Amino acid sequence: MTINPLKKPLMRLSRFLIVLILLCTGSTVPGAYAQQKEISGTDSLEGPTSREGKNAKSDEIYFRAIQAKIHDDYRQARTLFEQFAEQRPEVAATYYELCNLSYDDKQVDKAQEYIRKAISLDKTNKWYKEEYASILADHGSLLEAADVMAELCKMYPDDADYAKAAAEYYTQAKKYKQALPYIDKALLANEGDEDLMQRKMKIYLGMNDVEKAADVVRQMIAGDPNNGKYYVLLGDLYDNNKMTEKATAVYEKAQKVIPNDGDLQAGIAGHYLKTGDTAAYIARMQKAIVNKDQDAETQLDMLTTYIQRIPNDSVLLVQGMPVIRQLVAQHPEDDQVLAVYGGFLELANQHDSAAWAYEKSIQIKPSEFNVWLKLLNMYTGKQYADSLIKYSDKFIRLFPNQADAHYFSAIGHGNKGDYAGAIKAVNRAIDYEPDNNKPAVASLYAYLGELYHNNKQDDQSDKAFDKALTLNPDDASVLNNYSYFLSERGARLDDAEKMSAKSLALKPGEGTYLDTYGWILYKKGNYEKAKEYVQRAIQLAGVNTDGTLYDHLGNILYKLNDKDKAVQNWRFAKEKNSDDPLLDKKISEGKLYE
């Protein structure tokens, strides 16, 4: 990525405001080219009056172009600027404007042509040269951009930004020796500037001169000996260049100066990790994170770094839980600390404690949208329907125009069996979800289809599922659910079979989808093939087999006149908590009821 070291948008705005002020004050001469308006000589074929009239007309074209640009009518602005350029080809500002319009329209070659023309007409204009350098840099011509900035640096020796820009572009072009005098020049005007010092360090590293890079960091340390970040910068520099002993010496010296600095402790921890001493890393990093001299935000940033280096969730809970608990003890009223604590508790499957932490967090800072989502996710199980309705109502009051708020409300009402309320909430969610977010809108329509099915509104259910598949035709889950609901009703079984087959093609071997396909075959009377698919689904699920699958297999076996095995599978279904209301009757009488 190319970094543009100049604040070009601000500079453009300044020129734009000048033109706007001229318009508002009724000036008849475009300020950007006023100095070029006079035409010298008395031997022209045209008299002064004729010439002034033509200039007045062309001035009007220029102002109309500016007005079109102000109103974002860039096509009209470009046409008018081109007309003005034909009549007044000596005005440099016109080509600057055409350059901007061309560049915004991604016509890079044309933009460069126009800005070069502007520079040729006004060689002292720094705005034009800045624009040219920026265009060059954006498109990889870094050395040329650096040369332009170096020229500006000579023209304006008191402007350190040009020296900084030249150094940056030379650095990006890997011309480190050429960058060095310009970074030094920038530092003359900004002595000890941290950003410039780090840039100088990187220049020396680019030249493979580690010790001179280290000397730059030592200057930073000398200027602020109590800043732990500088010692870590120096230690990392040596570690990254396989100079472990020198890195160790840096940290040993630093500990004598600032023994309790959190940044230093984190740096030492990283040093241990690079040397392969994981135990020392963990101990030192934990000490750094809970350092009371750090604020909560810094501690959480360090905790994030620590977590990223922990290999798996089980180790994370063992190593991280004591740390986050100490942070909660230090900052019991910090909403972010509590939110992170909730995440740890959720990972540890401590549902009630995690919910408490999220609740406490949003009580402190109710505007934290993402923490609300975490809390509501804790309550999506059917047993928490009342809590989900309660908190989603609060969520809606805070974020009434957010689709997520109404979606969670729908889940709560659906889990409660209030399908009418859930349908109303999902329709609100659909209204608030942006149309261009097709996957999300499709998911909402799919859930709406499920709710309509549960509410015995079959036509509405089909329409909702059809809408979902129009938006996302390859959603295997929607294809499976829609086809299963059709099979349950015994409706459009050929369509159901096609959709189910497509879901299996998209996700081969998915147990639930195998069961759906088998159940559709059962409904169509193809019992042997149905048995094959449902048995495969049970084999894939193993001990986690849902009771519905055993219930389905029992029905299929009954149709195949294997009544003993049918009853045996119905019993398995009962043990697995199948929700078939006729299951007890089927078991007790040994007969199929549907």
500-541 pLDDT, tens per residue? Answer: 999 999 999 899 999 999 999 999 999 999 999 999 999 998
Q: What would the DSSP string read from start to end of 5-18?
A: -S-HHHHHHHHHHH
Number of domains in the chain: 2
Nearest CA-CA partner of 426 in 437, 436, 442: 442
Q: Are residues 218 and 136 located together in one domain of the fold?
A: no
18-59 pLDDT, tens per residue? Answer: 444 334 433 333 444 444 444 333 333 344 555 565 667 778
Q: What would the DSSP string read from start to end of 64-101?
A: HHHHHHHTT-HHHHHHHHHHHHHH-TT-HHHHHHHHHH
Percentage of residues of the chain with pLDDT beyond 90 = 74
Q: Are residues 136 and 218 located together in one domain of the fold?
A: no
Q: Are residues 115 and 3 located together in one domain of the fold?
A: yes
Q: Tell me how far the alpha carbon of residue 101 is from its chain's centroid.
A: 30
Structure tokens at 544: 């986690």
Give the confidence band of 1 by pLDDT, cuts at 50, 70, 90.
Answer: very low
Rg (CA), the chain: 36
Q: Is the pLDDT of residue 7 over 90?
A: no
Instruction: Please return the burial class of 79, using the count of CB atoms within 10 Å of its CB with bins 0-12, 13-18 and 19+.
Output: middle
Q: Is the pLDDT of residue 469 over 50?
A: yes
356-408 pLDDT, tens per residue? Answer: 999 999 999 999 999 999 999 999 999 999 999 999 999 999 999 999 999 99
Phi, psi (degrees; rounded to nearest 5) at 258: -130, 70
Per-residue pLDDT at 50: 55
CB atoms within 10 A of CB 311: 8
Q: Is the pLDDT of residue 126 over 60?
A: yes
Q: Are residues 1 and 136 located together in one domain of the fold?
A: yes
For residue 23, is it within any domain?
Answer: yes
Nearest CA-CA partner of 178 in 220, 139, 219, 207: 207
With H, G, I as helix, E, B as strand and everything else as coil, classify residue 370.
helix
Q: Are residues 1 and 128 located together in one domain of the fold?
A: yes
With H, G, I as helix, E, B as strand and everything else as coil, classify residue 349.
coil
For residue 554, is it within any domain?
Answer: no
CB contact at 8 A, 592 and 566: yes
With H, G, I as helix, E, B as strand and everything else as coil, classify residue 396.
helix
CB contact at 8 A, 384 and 378: yes
Last residue of a domain, one of 118, 140, 162: 140
Cβ density class 350-388: b for 16+ within 10 Å, e for less: eeeebbbbbbbbbebeeebeebbebbbebbeeeebbebb
CB contact at 8 A, 440 and 403: yes
Q: Are residues 107 and 240 located together in one domain of the fold?
A: no
For residue 385, is it within any domain?
Answer: no
Distances (CA, A) of 559 to 562, 566, 569: 7, 9, 13
Per-residue pLDDT at 462: 97
Q: Are residues 4 and 94 located together in one domain of the fold?
A: yes
Instruction: Please return the burial class of 57, using the count of CB atoms within 10 Å of its CB with bins 0-12, 13-18 and 19+.
Output: exposed
d(CA 162, CA 153): 5
Domain with 277 in it:
209-294
Q: Are residues 5 and 136 located together in one domain of the fold?
A: yes
Last residue of a domain, one of 246, 274, 294: 294
- C-alpha dihedral (187, 191, 195, 198), degrees to nearest 10: 70
Per-residue pLDDT at 278: 83
Give the confidence band of 279 by pLDDT, cuts at 50, 70, 90.
Answer: confident
d(CA 289, CA 183): 36
Per-residue pLDDT at 28: 36
Per-residue pLDDT at 39: 35
Q: Are residues 2 and 136 located together in one domain of the fold?
A: yes
For residue 393, is it within any domain?
Answer: no
Q: Are residues 241 and 133 located together in one domain of the fold?
A: no
Q: Are residues 129 and 222 located together in one domain of the fold?
A: no
How big is the CA angle at 236 (ends 230 and 240), to the nearest 5 degrees?
155
Q: Is the pLDDT of residue 471 over 50?
A: yes
CATH number of 22's domain: 1.25.40.10
For residue 312, is it within any domain?
Answer: no
Last residue of a domain, one of 93, 124, 140: 140
69-117 pLDDT, tens per residue? Answer: 999 999 999 999 999 999 999 999 999 999 999 998 889 999 999 999 9
Structure tokens at 125: 């204009």
Per-residue pLDDT at 99: 93
More confident residue, 9 or 186: 186
d(CA 319, CA 283): 10
Q: Are residues 1 and 103 located together in one domain of the fold?
A: yes
d(CA 250, CA 234): 7
What is the pTM (predicted TM-score) of this model?
0.66
Nearest CA-CA partner of 357 in 373, 377, 337: 337
CB contact at 8 A, 220 and 196: no
CB contact at 8 A, 503 and 512: no
For residue 515, is it within any domain?
Answer: no
Q: Is the pLDDT of residue 14 over 60?
A: no
Q: Is the pLDDT of residue 435 over 80?
A: yes
